[in-house]
Structure 1
Amino acid sequence: MKTLISNAILADGTGTDRRPADVLLDGEVIAVVAGAGSLTASGTGAERTIDATGLVLSPGFIDMHAHSDLQLLVNKDHYAKLSQGVTTELLGQDGLSYAPVDDATLAGVREKIAGWNDNPQDFDWDWRTVGEYLDRLDASENGKRIATNAAYLVPQGTVRALVMGFAEGDPTPEQQERMQDLVRTAMEEGAVGMSSGLTYTPGMYARTEELAGLCRTVGELGGFYAPHHRSYGKGALGAYAEMIGLSRDTGCALHLSHATMNFAENKGRAGELLELIDAALDDGADITLDTYPYLPGATTLAAILPSWSSSGGTEATLTRLADPATLARIRESVEIYGSDGCHGVVAEWHTLEISGVQNPALAGHVGKTIAAIAAESNAEPFNVFVRILQEDRLGTGILQHVGHEENVQAIMVHRTHTGGSDGLLVGAKPHPRAWGTFPRYLGHYSRDLGLLTLEEMVHHLSGRPAKRLKLDRRGSSAKATRPTSSSSIRAPSVTKPPLKPPASQPLASITCSSTGRQRSTAGSHRRPCRPRPAPQPRRTHPSRKYGIA
C-alpha cells in the first residue's frame, strides 16, 4: 500500500536543518522525498494520506540498549517501544541472554535474569543457537510478526556459562578457544557484536585477557563490543579505561553501554570520562556510547551481592544465604567494604527500591525501598535484603537511585552519544525509561532545556546508531531508498516540531508503519543471508563541547 505523508517538517536523521517535505511510502519503503506540496494522492497513487501539517517527520528511533529479548515474542503489540517511535532494538545486552545455550545453561540464565525479563513457564523455548533464536524472531506467529526490527549481541556471560558453567575460575586454553568459536559462530549466524555484564556473574569472572581473546574474534568479524563494564561507582574511570584499552589492543570497535558516572564519588565527574574518550578518539579509536535520560538505574536485587557469593548459580547462592557464617562475610562485603556487585560501593538501603517480584506474596514491597520495608517491620535492612532474596529466589527487580543530573546532561551532548533505554519491561513498577526514554530526550532535554536542537537529538536517536550498526538503509529519511529483494527501509515516525513551545505544549507523535528486519552487514566476509522473496525483509542483525550543567 502507498501512503503519502504531506506537508511534514522533515528532520531527516542526519543532523541537518529541518525542511518542509512530502514523503511517499510504498509499503515499508521510502519511495519519494520531495518538497512540501509537490506530491498528491492522485499523482502518486497513494491509497492513504496523512496530513502532517505542524508535525515533524523523522526516521524511526533505534534503541541501542534494549531488554526486549522475550517481550518481542510474548507481547507482539510491544506498545512500550512503538509508542515512543522506536523501530529498531539492539538485544542480547549486559552479557546475559538466551542464546547460545544448551538445556542446562538456558535454565540457569532464565532464573538469573527473571528480574529483567520474567521467566514464563508456559513459553516454548524452542531455540538453542543464535541463528535459531533469530529465526524465531523472524517467524510469524498467529499472523503477527515481531513489532520492531531486531539486532542481537552475543552475550559473553551466557557463552561463558555454556562452556564453563556459572562458577568462578579462569578458562583453560581449550575453554578459551571454545568460547571464541561460539562467538564466531554466533556472529556468522547474524549477531552484530558481543556484550558483557561485568558486574553480573558469571561474566564478571572473566579477566581482561579472557575478554581480549573474545574481542579479537569480534573485531575480526567486523562487529563491536558493548560492555556493561566493571564499575559505574568506585573506580569507574579505571573500569572505562580497561574497556578502551581492550578496544585499542584488539582492534575491536567499542560501544559503551549506559555510560554513566553514578554514586556519590562520581558527582560532577562526567568531564573526566569524556576527556578519556576524546583522547582515545583522537588516537583513532572507534568508540560510541549510549545513555538513558534518567537518574535511577535498574537491576536485580541479587546483583548487589559480592560475586563470590553468586558463584554456581541460583541454588548455590541460596545455599550460601542460608549459612550464618557465609552471611556474615556477605554482610561485611555489602555494608562495610562495598561489594563488586554494587560497583565497589557500600549498599545504601534507602536507594534500593523494589520494582518487581516473582513471588506474589512479596507484591506489597513493590515501590518501597529496603530501608522503608525494614522500618515498617522493625528489622535490620540487611536481614530484609536477605529475606527478599530467599523468598523471591533471586528474582527481584530494583531501581537504584544513584545518578546525577549534571553527569547525564554532559554525556548526552557528546559526539559519540546514542540513545538506549535499558528498559526492563516487567514488574509491577518498572523503571519509567522502559516507556519514556525517547519522548524524554525529545521533550525534556531538546524542546524544554534546549540541550540539543531537535535535529541533533533526532540524529543521536536514529542516524548515529544506524551508523554504529552498519545499517546504511536505516536511520535517515533524507532521500528515497529503493527496495532490493532482500531488505527494506522501516517506515518513519512523526513527532511534534517546536524546540521551545509553551511549557504546556506536548510533544506528540504519530506512528504509521509496519515492521521489517534487515540483517547487519558488519563484516564483508560474513555469510550472506538466506534469500527471501520480496517484499519480505531480513532481520537487522558536529561535535558539541561538553560541560557540567
Structure 2
Amino acid sequence: MTEKRPPYDLLIRGGTIIDGTKAPRFQADIGITDGRIAAIGRLDGHGADETIDATGLIVAPGFIDSHTHDDQAVLSQGLMPFKISQGVTTVITGNCGISAAPLRADMDLPMPLNLIDAPAEGRFTTFAAYLDALRHTPSSVNVAAMVGHSTLRGVTMSDLDRPATGEEIAAMRAHVEEAMAAGAIGMSTGTFYATATNATTEEIIEVGRPLGACGAVYVTHMRDESDKIMEAMEESFAIGRALGVPVVLSHHKAMHAPNFGKTKVTLPLIQETMKHQCVALDCYPYTAGSTMIRADRGMLDGRVLIASSEPHPECAGRDLADIAADWGVSKHDAALRLQPGSAIYFMMDEDDVQRVLAFDETMIGSDGIPLGDKPHPRLWGTFPRVLGHYSRDVGLFPLETAVWKMTGLTARNFGLDRRGTLKIGQHADMVLFDAATIRDAANYETPARPAEGIDTVIVNGAVTWRQGVHTGARSGQVITRMEKAAG
C-alpha cells in the first residue's frame, strides 16, 4: 500500500534554484506549507493545493529592496505594484532620515520629509502605532522599518537650522527608545539635507545611543557624496564605532563631473574599514538620482528632469531647462517656483556606477520615490535592470551573485534571519523569472512600466503576482528585530 503523503499548500516543480547564498544553481522542487518552505528536492508523488510549473525558470528568494521611501505607500498604495512586479517582496523603509513616525498632525513637513506624502490626518505619533497600522492593513510586501533622524528633529525642534540642545537630544533619544521597543530595525540619517545639515556628529551619536543595546543598524545618506565624500565617510564610520553598531552607506556614489572616478578611492577605503568594523553599502543601477526639487547650484549643473510638482503638476516629465526657458527665468528661479516636488538629476558616471555595483559587498536598493506619474524609472525597474542589463548583458557578475546582492546579502546586513535565502524553515518569499528575457521596461520617458520576464512572485506563501497580473494578495508582514529571537 502506498503511503499517503500530506499535500503542500503550494508546490513549485521543475525550477532552477538560485538560493541567495551565491552557491551554484541546481534543479529542485519546493514545497510550501503555512507560509514557510517545507521541503526542497525531488518531490515526486507529493500533492499540493496548488502547483506551479517552473520549468525553464529561475526560482530565487524574493528580492529585498535595501533602500526605499515606501513608508506611506505601503499603507496608501498597499498592492505595491511597482515593487511586486519586479520581484521585490520586502522593503526597508525609513531611509535618508525620513520616516512615517513619529509625526504630529500639526507639523508642516519640510522638504524632504514631505516625500513620503504623509497626510496630516491619520499621522502616527509613535512608531508602535505605525507598525500596528501595517499589521492591521497589510501590504503586498513585507516591511522592515527604521526611524528617521530628520523626522525626529522635525517633531522635536522648532528650528532645524541649528544643532539640537541637550534637552532636544534627550527628547529625540526617547523617541528612538520607543521605536526600538516597537521593533524598528535601526535609525537613519540624512545630513545631506537642510533638515539635518546642522546636526553635529555628537548630536547623532547621542540621539542614537539606544541602537547599541538593541543590535540595530545605523544607515546614512551622508553629508556629502561629492567633493568632501571622504570626510563624510569617515564621519559615518566614527558614528558606527561610537555606537557599536553596523553602518550602512546609502546609495553609494560620486556626484558631479569633478568627482567622476572617485569610487576608485572610496571603495578601497570601505573595504579596509570592513576589516575593523561592520560596514555595508547599497546602490541603484542608474547614472541619475532623484530627490526633492532643489535650487542649489551644484544640483542644477546637469540635466534635471521634473518628476512631480505640487504647484505645477503639468510640468512632470519635462526638463527644468525647458521649463525655465518657457518662463523666461533662470533654472534656479524655475526650481523655486516648482517646489515642493521631486526631480531626477543626471549627475553620475557610468564607470562609477558599474564599479560600485561590481564591488562584492554592494546591496541593491531602488531609492524610488512613489509619487506622481513620472517617477524615476528605478521605482519600477531596479532589480530586473541588475539581472538583465548588468548581469546578463554587460556580464558584470554571474546571476548567482546578482541574486545574492538583492537577497541573502541584504538579509544578512539588516538582520532578517528568516528571509533572503531558500532553505527549509524560511518564510516562503520567492520570485520566478526567465533569465533569458528579464529586463527593465521602465525608462525616463515611460517610467511606470512593469518589468519583463517576471513570471510569479510569492509573499509568505501567497501567490501575489502571476504572469503580469497582481492577484490582489496582501500577505506582507511587519518584520521587526524581534523576529530574529522568535525564529
TMscore range, shorter length: 0.7 to 0.9
- Which of 455, 479, 484 in structure 2 is aligned with 1:519? 479
Equivalent residue of 1:94, what SS?
coil
Q: Which residue of 2 aligns with 1:108?
A: 108
1:319-346: CA deviation from partner (whole Å, max 9, x where unpaired): xxxxxxxxxxxxxxx44xxxxxxxxx36
1:19-76: CA deviation from partner (whole Å, max 9, x where unpaired): 0010011141111001xxx213xx3230211111110000000001111111111122
Equivalent residue of 1:489, what SS?
coil
1:262 aligns with 2:255: yes
Aligned mates of 2:154, 2:144 — CA distance in 1: 22
| Amino acid in the other structure paired with 1:78 | M
Q: CA deviation at 1:133?
A: 0.1
- Which of 89, 92, 103 in structure 1 is aligned with 2:91? 89
Equivalent residue of 2:209, what SS?
helix
Aligned mates of 1:519, 1:385 — CA distance in 2: 38
Contact (CA 8 Å) 2:161, 2:198: kept in 1 or not? yes
Alignment of 1:155-174 (within 5 A): 155-174=148-167
Contact (CA 8 Å) 1:166, 1:201: kept in 2 or not? no
Q: Stretches of 4+ moved more than 6 A in 1?
A: none
1:200-232: CA deviation from partner (whole Å, max 9, x where unpaired): 232222111111223332122211111101112
1:287 aligns with 2:279: yes
Alignment of 1:411-490 (within 5 A): 411-477=356-422, 479-481=423-425, 489-490=427-428
Q: Which residue of 1 aligns with 2:304?
A: 352
| Amino acid in the other structure paired with 1:131 | A
Runs of 5+ in structure 1 lacking a partner? 306-333, 336-344, 390-394, 482-487, 530-537, 539-549
Q: Matched residues, percent identical?
A: 32
Q: Which residue of 2 aligns with 1:544?
A: none
Cα 1:346–1:294 change in 2 (3 A) is closer
Contact (CA 8 Å) 1:219, 1:253: kept in 2 or not? no
Cα 1:21–1:294 change in 2 (3 A) is same
Q: Which residue of 1 aligns with 2:322?
A: 372
Q: Which residue of 1 aligns with 2:429?
A: 491
Aligned mates of 2:319, 2:200 — CA distance in 1: 34
Contact (CA 8 Å) 2:131, 2:478: kept in 1 or not? no
The count of corresponding residues between Structure 1 and Structure 2 is: 455
The 10-residue stretch of structure 1 (161-170 or 230-239) with the greater mean CA deviation from structure 2:
161-170
Aligned mates of 1:442, 1:189 — CA distance in 2: 35
| Amino acid in the other structure paired with 1:129 | T
Aligned mates of 1:273, 1:358 — CA distance in 2: 37
1:306-361: CA deviation from partner (whole Å, max 9, x where unpaired): xxxxxxxxxxxxxxxxxxxxxxxxxxxx44xxxxxxxxx3631x5222111223xx
Q: Which residue of 2 aligns with 1:80?
A: 82
Contact (CA 8 Å) 2:284, 2:367: kept in 1 or not? yes
Q: CA deviation at 1:491?
A: 3.0
Equivalent residue of 1:108, what SS?
coil
Equivalent residue of 2:90, what SS?
strand
Equivalent residue of 2:240, what SS?
helix
Q: CA deviation at 1:412?
A: 1.1
Q: CA deviation at 1:520?
A: 3.0
Contact (CA 8 Å) 1:216, 1:252: kept in 2 or not? no
Q: CA deviation at 1:499?
A: 10
| Amino acid in the other structure paired with 2:455 | S
Q: CA deviation at 1:474?
A: 0.8
Q: Which residue of 2 aligns with 1:485?
A: none
Alignment of 1:241-280 (within 5 A): 241-280=234-273
Alignment of 1:146-157 (within 5 A): 146-157=139-150
| Amino acid in the other structure paired with 2:285 | P
| Amino acid in the other structure paired with 2:168 | Q
| Amino acid in the other structure paired with 2:180 | M
Contact (CA 8 Å) 2:176, 2:208: kept in 1 or not? no
> What RMSD in Å do the two structures reach over aligned CA positions?
2.4
| Amino acid in the other structure paired with 2:405 | H
Contact (CA 8 Å) 1:469, 1:520: kept in 2 or not? no
Aligned mates of 1:126, 1:384 — CA distance in 2: 32
Q: Which residue of 2 aligns with 1:32?
A: 39
Q: Which residue of 2 aligns with 1:50?
A: 52
Normalized per residue, the structure richer in helix is 1
Q: Which residue of 2 aligns with 1:137?
A: 134
| Amino acid in the other structure paired with 1:108 | D
| Amino acid in the other structure paired with 2:394 | L
Q: CA deviation at 1:446?
A: 0.7
1:64 aligns with 2:66: yes
Aligned mates of 2:185, 2:330 — CA distance in 1: 46
Cα 1:346–1:53 change in 2 (3 A) is closer
Aligned mates of 1:248, 1:29 — CA distance in 2: 37
Equivalent residue of 2:375, what SS?
coil
1:266-299: CA deviation from partner (whole Å, max 9, x where unpaired): 21111211111112112x2101111110111101
1:364-418: CA deviation from partner (whole Å, max 9, x where unpaired): 32222222212223333233223323xxxxx211001101111111111223211
The 10-residue stretch of structure 1 (201-210 or 284-293) with the greater mean CA deviation from structure 2:
201-210
Equivalent residue of 2:392, what SS?
helix
Contact (CA 8 Å) 2:142, 2:479: kept in 1 or not? no
Q: Under a length normalisation based on structure 1, what TM-score does the superposition of the two structures give?
A: 0.78
Q: Which residue of 2 aligns with 1:320?
A: none
Cα 1:251–1:509 change in 2 (3 A) is same
Q: CA deviation at 1:498?
A: 4.8
Alignment of 1:492-511 (within 5 A): 492-498=430-436, 507-511=453-457
Aligned mates of 2:269, 2:323 — CA distance in 1: 41
Q: Which residue of 2 aligns with 1:299?
A: 291
Cα 1:346–1:87 change in 2 (3 A) is closer
Normalized per residue, the structure richer in strand is 2
Cα 1:114–1:519 change in 2 (3 A) is closer
Contact (CA 8 Å) 1:221, 1:522: kept in 2 or not? no
| Amino acid in the other structure paired with 2:101 | A
